[in-house]
């Protein structure tokens, strides 16, 4: 067999320096597609290639130790084609990487197990393909959030992948990656930015996870579970989720849309509020007068009804507005009389008659009655009251429906 060279110059140098043999070099880069058989249930059987698998993993362990003990700046495992991890060494040799590690452009054909592995610096799985079940459960990525990076960009997961209970102490990037089956990130902590931009996924689970800052722009995710998510502050301390944990409104919108598909109205409303608050922040950042009409509308919507999510807040404004109308309509015109008989005015102001009068002044049923009855010589005020009242009652109806609707 001639030498197989795929582009890994570091391992090729070990061969030219006669540190490893041609057989050892080739077995790392040899195509593993014919090393296993697949049954009707799409299960792999590697028994016929057991000897070759053992040779592969012994060689890989040998090179890992060489990288550990020599003045080589990083673990270069690019372009390697991996068999099933069932035959990998049972000791901890492959469970700790104290330099930058690069698995870019590698193929993992069989079941892949990086459980409880510690990657202390930069990690690259860029443009890597995982053909079978993959697990990174309870794995540590990076050590310094300010300098380390974990790179899974443009990777493809053909089967389920688990990152449960893992800790990403670094910027983590899955941009442009594809998850054909479920990706499980439950109980995982991301201490720096998490990029999930332009990904395609069947299902991603983040239940009870912690995030510092998430990007979800242009993502296509059929099912996304963000139940009981917490935020992380810059010091890595757990806190309630806030605007600072989302890169932009699009990131919140993707999560909101998925909860709407699940008919989970409570969670959908929460992320809709995040989306609107982030939208308002973007408008204000662009400049107050650049989009003054949109900024005023979105800002007013937040002030009156918490972006359509709080009917109780609208009710507060209805009561407040009716009280203001009462003062302007009934008390300001006769303020001199009130000054001379303060006690009587106060008794009249805080009585059931006042409540009835407030209802009468803003009652939508009175909107189309003869204005001379309620707003005699105050037609302009009557028109303003009509407009504001209709707006408030509309906001109340929409917010109430948003909190009680069923699909």
Q: Are residues 322 and 389 in the same domain?
A: yes
CA distance 286 to 233: 25
Q: Is residue 305 part of a domain?
A: no
| Statement to judge: residues 343 and 256 lie in one domain | no
Structure tokens at 356: 């009835």
Contact criterion met (CB below 8 Å) for 65 and 55:
no
What average pLDDT score do residues 258-267 get? 86
Dihedrals phi, psi of 314, to nearest 5 degrees: -65, -40
Helix (H, G, I), strand (E, B) or coil at 94: helix
DSSP class per residue in 311-331: HHHHHHHHHHHHHHHHIIIII
8 A C-beta contact, residue 113 and residue 87: no
Please indicate, yes or no, whether residues 123 and 221 belong to a single structural domain of this protein: yes
pLDDT exceeds cutoff 90 at 359: no
- Strand segments, DSSP code E, in 356-404 are none
DSSP string, 40-57: TT--EE-GGGHHHHHHHH
What are the E-state strand segments in 260-373? none
Q: Considering only CA atoms, which of 200, 140, 158 is closest in space to residue 175?
A: 200
Phi, psi (5° rounding) for residue 326? -60, -45
Residue 67, token pair as written in the block:
């990288």
Query: Nearest 5°: phi and psi at 224?
Result: -135, 120
Query: What does the radius of gyration of the chain's CA atoms come to, in whole angstroms?
Result: 32
Q: Could you say which DSSP state residue 104 is in?
A: T
Domain interval for residue 232: 9-262
Q: Is 157 helix (H, G, I), strand (E, B) or coil?
A: strand
Q: What whole-number percentage of the chain has pLDDT above 70?
A: 84
pLDDT for position 59: 96
Check pLDDT > 60 for residue 129.
yes
The pLDDT tens digits for 176-198 are 999 999 999 999 999 999 999 99
**pLDDT, position 9:** 92
Helix (H) or strand (E) holding 228: none
Answer yes or no: are the C-beta atoms of 238 and 231 closer than 8 Å. yes
| pLDDT for the residue 307 | 79
206 and 69 belong to one structural domain: yes
- 48 and 184, same domain (yes or no): yes
Task: With a cut of 60, say whether residue 210 has pLDDT above it.
Answer: yes
Domain membership flag for residue 269: no
For residues 279 and 152, the model is more confident at 152
pLDDT computed for residue 5 by the predictor: 80
Segment holding 337, helix H or strand E: helix 335-340
Report the pLDDT value the prediction gives residue 369, as an integer from 0 to 100. Answer: 57
Number of structural domains found in the chain? 2
Do 228 and 358 have their domain in common? no
Q: Does any domain span residue 299?
A: no
Coil, strand or helix: which one is 305? helix
Q: Do 29 and 149 fall into the same domain?
A: yes
Select from 157, 105, 103, 168 the least CA-distant residue to 135: 157
At 116 the pLDDT is 96
Question: Are 232 and 331 contained in the same domain?
Answer: no
Q: Are residues 243 and 122 in the same domain?
A: yes
pLDDT band at 386 (very low <50, low <70, confident <90, very high): confident
- CA-based nearest residue to 174, from 193, 189, 196, 158: 196
pLDDT at 317: 86
Mean pLDDT of the chain: 86
Instruction: Name which of 287-296, 321-330, 351-360 the model is least confident about.
Output: 351-360
The reply to whether 288 falls in a domain is no
pLDDT confidence bin for 407, thresholds 50/70/90? very low
Phi, psi (degrees; rounded to nearest 5) at 325? -60, -40
Does residue 49 belong to any structural domain of this protein? yes
Q: Are residues 92 and 232 in the same domain?
A: yes
Last residue of a domain, which of 247, 262, 277? 262
- 225 and 142 in a single domain? The answer is yes
Q: Is 301 within the bounds of a domain?
A: no
Strands 238-239 and 230-232: antiparallel
- Segment 310-330 shows an average pLDDT of 79
- Which segment of 62-71, 184-193, 215-224, 361-370 scores lowest on mean pLDDT? 361-370
Residue 337: per-residue pLDDT: 54
Q: Which position has the token pair 């699009």? A: 250
Do 145 and 217 share a domain, yes or no?
A: yes
Determine, yes or no, domain membership for 246.
yes
**188 falls within a domain:** yes
Q: Report percent pLDDT > 90 for the chain.
A: 55
Domain boundary among 233, 262, 291: 262
């Amino acid at each position: 067999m001639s030498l197989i060279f795929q582009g890994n110059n570091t391992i090729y140098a070990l061969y030219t320096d006669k540190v490893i043999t041609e057989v050892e070099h080739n077995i790392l880069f040899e195509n593993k597609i014919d090393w296993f058989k697949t049954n009707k249930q799409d299960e792999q059987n590697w028994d016929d290639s057991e000897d070759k698998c053992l040779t592969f993993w012994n060689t890989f362990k040998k090179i890992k130790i060489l990288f550990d003990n020599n003045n080589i700046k990083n673990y270069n495992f690019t372009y390697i084609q991996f068999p099933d991890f069932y035959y990998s060494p049972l000791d901890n040799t492959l469970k700790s990487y104290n330099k930058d590690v690069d698995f870019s452009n590698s193929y993992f054909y069989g079941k892949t197990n990086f459980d409880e592995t510690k990657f202390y610096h930069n990690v690259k799985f860029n443009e890597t393909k995982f053909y079978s079940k993959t697990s990174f459960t309870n794995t540590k990525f990076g050590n310094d959030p300010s300098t380390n990076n974990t790179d899974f960009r443009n990777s493809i997961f053909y089967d389920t992948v688990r990152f449960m209970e893992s800790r990403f102490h670094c910027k983590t990037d899955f941009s442009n990656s594809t998850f054909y089956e479920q990706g499980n990130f439950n109980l995982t902590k991301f201490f720096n930015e998490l990029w999930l931009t332009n990904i395609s996924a069947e299902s991603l689970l983040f239940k009870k996870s912690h995030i510092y800052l998430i990007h979800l722009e242009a993502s296509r995710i059929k099912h996304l579970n963000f139940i009981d998510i917490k935020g992380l502050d810059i010091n890595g301390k757990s806190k309630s989720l806030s605007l600072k944990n989302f890169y932009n409104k699009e990131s919140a919108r993707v999560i909101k849309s998925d909860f709407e598909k699940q008919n989970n109205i409570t969670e959908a409303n929460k992320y809709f509020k995040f989306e609107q608050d982030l939208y308002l922040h973007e408008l204000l950042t662009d400049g107050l007068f650049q989009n003054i009409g949109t900024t005023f509308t979105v800002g007013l919507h937040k002030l009156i009804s918490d972006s359509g999510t709080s009917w109780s807040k609208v009710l507060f404004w209805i009561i407040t507005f009716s009280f203001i109308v009462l003062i302007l309509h009934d008390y300001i015109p006769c303020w001199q009389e009130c000054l001379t008989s303060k006690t009587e005015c106060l008794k009249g102001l805080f009585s059931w008659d006042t409540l009835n009068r407030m209802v009468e002044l803003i009652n939508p049923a009175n909107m189309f009655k003869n204005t001379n009855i309620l707003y005699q010589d105050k037609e302009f005020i009557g028109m303003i009251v009509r407009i504001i009242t209709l707006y408030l009652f509309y906001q109340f109806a929409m917010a109430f429906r948003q909190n009680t609707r069923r699909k």
